[in-house]
Amino acid sequence: LLILLQNIINTDDLNDKECLQETLSDVQKLASKYGNVKHLTVDVSKCGIYVEYDGSFSVAEVAVESLDGKLLGGERVSAEIVRNIVKLENVLTDDDLEDDECMEETLSDIKDLANKLGNVSDVKVNVKSKIVYIKLRAFEIEAMPPFN
């Protein structure tokens, strides 16, 4: 189960590895209050952190209810449960991690396969844990006509 915390990292975190590690440590402690945290993944484009919980859906719900709108470091945190995410483990090799060209090719292959499930809107890699997250665009459901 994934939740996304936004407004929780800033440009200082992104420009300074020590600062980012301190923030990740703080988020780990904070998120652990609601359940067992499996992984944290930084999303630079959203200035956010994905928190992956090991547990039931209610764990993510309680975390989001508690963290959404909370004031941290002078910023109001936005928290939401992430849906339409496919998590792939054990698909990256050491070659992928060591060679940008190999990584690019592997991610391209993964996107091609994932597009069979639906339109891929984003792909994120947690290099440390060798996990690939694929976000699929939400499907729009046409309104059904009323039953007579």
Give pLDDT tens digits for 97-131: 999 999 999 999 988 888 887 788 888 888 888 88
pTM for the model: 0.68
Rounded average pLDDT over 68-93: 86
Listed in sequence order, the residues at least 6 apart from 53 whose beta carbon sits closer than 8 Å to its beta carbon are 1, 2, 3, 31, 34, 35, 36, 37, 38, 59, 60, 63
Contact 100, 127 (CB under 8 A): no
pLDDT at 147 over 60: no
Percent of the chain with pLDDT over 70: 93
Contacts 24+ apart (CB under 8 A), 108-115: 110/134, 114/86
Q: What is the pLDDT of residue 78?
A: 94
Q: What is the pLDDT of residue 56?
A: 77
Place of tokens 């729009």: 140
What is the residue-averaged pLDDT of the chain? 84
